[in-house]
Amino acid sequence: MTADKKRLIALSAAVLISLGGCASNTEISVPRSRTRNITVEDTEDLTVKASELTEADMLKPSGELGSFSTKFNPKQKGRSSNIKRASDSINSVVVNPGETFSYNETIGPTSRKNGYKLGTIFVKGEMFEGYGGGVCQVSSTLYNAAANAGMTIVERHDHSRPVPYVEKGKDAATSYGGVDFKFKNEKLLELALTQSGADAINNNERLEFIGDRVLGLSVAALLYEMFADESEGELARRHAALVSTETLSDVAQKLGLDKRVRRGHMTAGRIKHILANAMEAVLGAIYIDGGWDAARDFVLDIWRDLAASVATAPKDACWRRACMMV
C-alpha cells in the first residue's frame, strides 16, 4: 500500500456530544451530516444508543447505529451523583474531524472541588471509597456504544478487577492523570466517497468544495516554484490541465478510488466527473482532518510528478495524454 493510500485511511468525522437531563439513560445519536449527539434521561439504566439525526432537527433520532446499556443502583446516592456529573460534563462537546475524544480531558479531575462525591473505586485490585466512584460506568457504557457505532477506539483499559455492570474486556477504566478512554470516528473518507446520487443528504459535495480550493492553491504554488521563467499565461494553462476532470479522474483511479466510490444508479456516463469530484472531496477531507500542511503535502506528492512530466507549457489545457500519471 502506498503512503498516499495509507493517508486516506486516517480520516474521521466531526462528533457533537450533547446531553440533557439526568445521568441514567444516555443516548449517543448520529445525525445524517457530520455530528454525534448524546442525550440523557432519568431511568435506572445507563443506556447508550447511536442514532442518525436529520440536519433539520439535530435532536430527533432517525436511525440507530449502535447501542449499549448498563444497570446501576440509584439508591447509591454518591455514585449516582457522580454518574450524573460525568454525563453532564460531556454535554455539547464537539470533536472535530481528525481530533480524538478524551474522557479524562472532558470530565476533568474527579475531585471534591469539582463536585464529585465519595463512591467505590479500585486501586491495584483493592476497593476503596474515593471521590468520583462511578464515572467509569459512564466511560464503559460510552465505550461499548462507540464501538458498536463504528468509531475507532484509540485507548481503553481494563479495570484491575471485574466490574458488575459489564463483562470482562468490555469496561473502560479511567483515572484523571492516568489511564484514559479515547475514541476517534473515521467516517470522513466514507463521506468523501459518497456521491449525491447515492445519498442526497450525506454526500461529498461540501468536501468537494473545499478540496477544489486546496488543490487549486497547492498546484498554483507548486507551478510558481517549479517554472520560474514562465509567464502567467503559461502557468495558467499548466494549472488548468493539472486540475482538469481528466487529470483528477486519472489520479483517483491510480489511488483505487473508483472501486470505493458510492454513486447512484443513473451515473454510468458521468464516471469521470464523479471520480474527479471524489478526488477533490478526498483532498477536502484530508484538509479537514489534518490541516493545510497535510493536504498540501498530499497534493505535492502526486502533482509534482505530473507537473514535471511535461517539459514545456501546453498551448491549451488539453494535454491529458502528455500528462499521464507516472
Q: Give the gyration radius of the chain's Cα atoms.
A: 25
**pTM, rounded to two decimals:** 0.55
Residue 73 has pLDDT above 90, yes or no: no
pLDDT in tens, 244-281: 999 999 999 999 999 889 888 766 668 999 999 999 99
- In this predicted structure, what is the pLDDT of residue 185? 67
Which of 27, 208, 280, 289 is an active site residue? 280
Which of 186, 212, 250, 289 is an active site residue? 212
297 part of the active site: no
The domain limits of the chain are: 11-186, 190-323
- In this predicted structure, what is the pLDDT of residue 320? 46
280 part of the active site: yes
Residue 62 has pLDDT above 50, yes or no: no
- In this predicted structure, what is the pLDDT of residue 241? 95
Fold topology of 190-323: Ribonuclease iii, N-terminal Endonuclease Domain; Chain A (1.10.1520)
- In this predicted structure, what is the pLDDT of residue 42? 38
